[in-house]
Structure 1
Amino acid sequence: MNSFEQTRYKMIRRGAVIGIIGNILLAIIKGWAGIVADSRALVADAVHSASDVVSSIAVMIGIRAANLPPDKDHPYGHGKAETLTAIIVAVLLFIVGFEIGLNAVKDAGEPVAVPKTIALYAVVFSIAAKEAMFRYKHYLGKKYRSEAIITDAWHHRSDVFSSLAALAGIGATILGDKAGISWMLYGDLAAGLIVSIMIMKMAWDLGTDSIHNVLDHVLHSEDTVEMRRQAANVEGVMQIDELLAREHGHYVIVDIKLSVDPLITVEEGHAIGKQVKETLLADKNVKDVFVHVNPYTKN
């Protein structure tokens, strides 16, 4: 593991740990405030935060597995472990969205309890904390190309939405009770359904992207222009016949076919191929390069 990969692993692991600790603290704070304030919406949101600990632990496991060195059964490394983790988190996120919507429908037949004002403060604190966690983890995920961290970051953003729904519902219930407007007491149910649909849509999009990547997605030609240019500039390379860059989790594996002078020795051709490999490996996102050398022929 080179210095960049060590730093990457350290920073992403730190992000996952922060997610676990943050969700535990928020679950405790919101659970306590929900019970004191007699707010079902806040208690449900606390359970939501507690369930998020599971996804953060899954991310931790996925990150650790992705950083295992290549072995006989996995010669390309374990980078796809992060992508598989992202799929798992997306599924959990979809289930959370479904549960929020289901609970909103079930609560429609229950008597409405008017929560105390302290519930509003707890929800506002939760929104601020979750948004900060989202921004931090999204930054880490983008910087270090971690699908698992990015998906978990959006999980935090989904919590912001669900907390906003709880805030709207609690606020509407308190205001409706004071103003004597009965229909406002059910504002949290409508908000919960809307947020439920938003979260499920988010989970579907994130899961679809991760599934696309786990199926040996190849970078588009416009994304490999610089790679082709660098390889073509190596002395002795007469033509790039084919270049395929496969995403393998957070890194890329390159397969390249190039043509050299057919009259040079095998050793000289091998040296050119080796130089092309070293040139492409200079990119920190490229994990390995497989070079096939062909004799150049005019079309």
Structure 2
Amino acid sequence: MLSAIIEEHEKIGGQIMQNTRSNNLKMAEKGVWVSIFAYIILSIGQIVVAQLTHSSALKANGFNNLTDILGNIAILIGLRIARIPADNDHVYGHWKIESIASLVSSFIMFFVGFEVLRDTILNILSNKKEIIDPLGAIVALISAFIMIAVYFYTNRLAKKTQSQALLAASKDNLSDALTSIGTAVAILASIIHLAWLDKIMALIISGFILKTAYDIFKDSVFSLSDGFDENLIEQYTDAVAKAPKVQNVKLVRGRTYGSNIFLDVVVEMSPDLSVFESHAATESIEKMLRDEFDVYDVDVHVEPAILPEVEHFSSRSLELLAQEEEILNQQNLEQLLAPNYEEVGINGHVINRDEKLSALTDKNLAIKSYQAQQVSKKTFILTYQFFEGNQNVTVSSIWRRNNSWYCLFRQLTPQTHKNEKSD
């Protein structure tokens, strides 16, 4: 019954996460549409004005905006497909389509960037001189202001929706704004008889196109090849190591599907934990990673930790001797007695842990004839004697390991003196 409730809870949580991510991608599409409309207007306007004013830089900038239209269309299609829920053929969902769309966008930008570069070089080699109209500078500055506004909108929306594709598009918006400013400077320089600067700026703009294409290509390939940020791995490892019941973090492995992070975590816990306890600990780890680091999916595997000196009988028996002596003298009982501790006293009366703790008195007793028997890796039976007043007492105690060693049971049996037997 409990396992069914937990399974249903996990299913509901996963569905909520799926819906949240899908809604984020749907919101990210708005930013892509804004970019597309802005690029359509700017590319047409700049290319037409460039033909009229004979500005190579403005023409290159117009073609740069044209590539962004095609690239944003590819991103838009990718965001649409990425929102499709998981099915039998795509058990992890379609999130990687977002990275594939960015990769396609980079190819388009590479192609147009090389075309702009080729056209500019041919103009330089032809040494063709034309009068450049200052109208081109005005158009370039208007384009810059528009793209700066679009950048602030898409960048804020990308961070809100955690969309890597939209974030890449927003960086391209900023790059376009800077190239537009550079274009305006080149045109103004040409007016004062520095026409060569217009062509140089066209080369620089083509370089910006190719550089942006390379950055998007690199990030997309990194994601598609399951590359992952090592700094994030260190953060996750440190956080998991502090989780309850975790004794060691053996492995943290991550991969991304679009903007979603998937983690495989291997931890070591005490072999004394029950299946239910270790499962509850893994649920706590998964919730922590989702809440604190916004991880989409986590798979936590538990392996038994090697407890120190667990297989060394002599070391363990000596350690238990010291702890048993503390109980005998009623020291550190809070740390040594199990929650369900029971003790059969000399008079045959049975007391529990609370009664034992409430009757503390200072003692200075010594153990003799100590013997330890290991029943299993987790259980020891100790026997010994001590002398108090005129009475010799034999003690039998049971110790069990549950992460630490605790005393479960003690029985005190009085011994009859020899002189009493002779009487």
Report the TM-score, using the length of structure 2 for normalisation. Answer: 0.61
> By how many angstroms is 1:99 displaced?
2.2
> Which amino acid in structure 1 is aligned with residue 285 of structure 2?
V
C-alpha deviation, 1:10, in angstroms = 3.5
1:84 CA drift (Å): 2.0
CA contact (8 A) 1:219 1:247 kept: no
Partner Cα distance (1:284, 1:60) in 2:
27
Counterpart code for 1:12: A
Give the Å deviation of 1:143: 4.7
**Corresponding residue of 2:248:** 239
Relative to structure 1, the CA distance from residue 240 to residue 39 in structure 2 (aligned partners, 3 Å threshold; closer, same or farther) is: closer
Q: SS where residue 261 of structure 2 aligns?
A: strand
Of residues 142, 146, 152 in structure 2, which corresponds to 1:125? 142
1:97-135 residue CA offsets vs partner (Å, 9 max, x unmatched): 322221111112163332333222111101111233234
Aligned partners of 2:107 and 2:213 also within 8 Å: yes
Pairs within 5 Å for 1:127-142: 127-142=144-159
**Aligned counterpart in structure 2 of residue 254 of structure 1, from 263, 278, 286:** 263
Aligned-CA RMSD value: 2.7
Pairs aligned (count): 291
Q: Does 1:92 pair with 2:108?
A: yes
User: Which secondary structure state, in structure 1, belongs to the residue aligned with residue 116 of structure 2?
Assistant: helix
Q: Secondary structure at the match of 2:192?
A: helix
Query: Are 2:37 and 1:21 equivalent residues in the alignment?
Result: yes
How far the C-alpha of 1:165 sits from its partner, in A, is 4.6
**Structure of greater Rg:** 2
* Aligned residue type for 2:151: F
Query: For structure 1, which segment, 72-81 or 264-273, has the greater mean C-alpha deviation from structure 2 after superposition?
Result: 264-273
- Report the 3-state secondary structure (helix = DSSP H, G, I; strand = E; otherwise coil) of the residue aligned with 1:289: strand
Q: For 1:163-186, what per-residue CA distance to the aligned partner results, in whole angstroms no more than 9, with x for missing partners? A: 34532443233222xxxxxxx223
Q: For 1:215 and 1:43, how far apart are their aligned partners in 2?
A: 36
Quote the residue 1:296 is aligned against. 305
**What amino acid maps onto 1:18 in structure 2?**
V
SS, match of residue 297 in structure 1? coil
* Residue identity in the other structure for 1:294: E
Identity of aligned residues (%): 26
2:273 is equivalent to residue 264 of structure 1: yes
CA–CA distance in 2 between the matches of 1:124 and 1:262?
69
Mapped pair 1:54 → 2:70: yes
Partners of 1:52 and 1:218 in 2: CA distance: 27
Between the two structures, name the one with larger relative contact order (CA 8 Å, sep ≥ 6). 1
Shift of 1:212: 1.8
CA distance in 1, matches of 2:22, 2:216: 26
Instruction: Give the structure 2 partner of residue 273 of structure 1.
Output: 282
Aligned partner of 2:219 in structure 1 is 209
Where does residue 87 of structure 2 map in the other structure? 71
State how far apart, in whole Å, the 2-side matches of 1:26 and 1:196 are: 17
Q: Is the 8 A contact 1:45 1:166 kept in 2?
A: yes
Q: Structure 2: which amino acid aligns with 1:89?
A: S
Letter in 2 for 1:125: I
The equivalent of 1:146 in structure 2 is 163
Are 1:193 and 2:195 an aligned pair?
A: no
Aligned to 2:296, what secondary structure does the other structure show? strand
The C-alpha deviation readout for 1:246-286, integer Å capped at 9, x for no partner, is 22321211111122232333333333323322332324631
Greater helix percent: which structure?
A: 1
The letter of the residue matching 2:294 is N
Query: Could you tell me how far 1:24 is from its partner in structure 2?
Result: 1.2
Aligned partner (choices 196, 218, 228) of residue 218 of structure 1: 228
TM-score between both structures, scaled by the size of structure 1: 0.83
Q: 1:84 to 1:212 in 2, by over 3 A?
A: same
Alpha-carbon distance change, 80 to 227 in structure 1, aligned in 2, over 3 angstroms: same
Mapped contact 1:161–1:195 kept (Cα < 8 A): no
Quick one: which amino acid aligns to residue 36 of structure 2?
I
Verify: 1:155 aligned to 2:165, yes or no: no
Distance 1:66 1:290, change over 3 A: same
CA distance in 1, matches of 2:255, 2:186: 47
Deviations, residues 205-229 of structure 1 (Å, cap 9, x unaligned)? 3322331222112331x42445335
What's the CA shift for 1:50?
3.0
**Relative to 1, partners in 2 of residues 1:93 and 1:110: Cα closer, same or farther, differing over 3 Å?**
same
Instruction: Specify the SS of the correspondent of 1:286.
Output: coil
1:162/1:192 contact within 8 Å kept: no
Residues 231 and 276, structure 1, Cα contact 8 Å, conserved in 2: yes
Distance 2:189 2:273 in 1: 80
Deviation at 1:162, TM superposition (A): 4.1
Tell me whether 242-251 or 258-267 shows the greater mean CA deviation. 258-267
Q: The residue matched to 1:23 in structure 2 has which SS? A: helix
Name structure 1 gaps, 5 residues minimum: 177-183
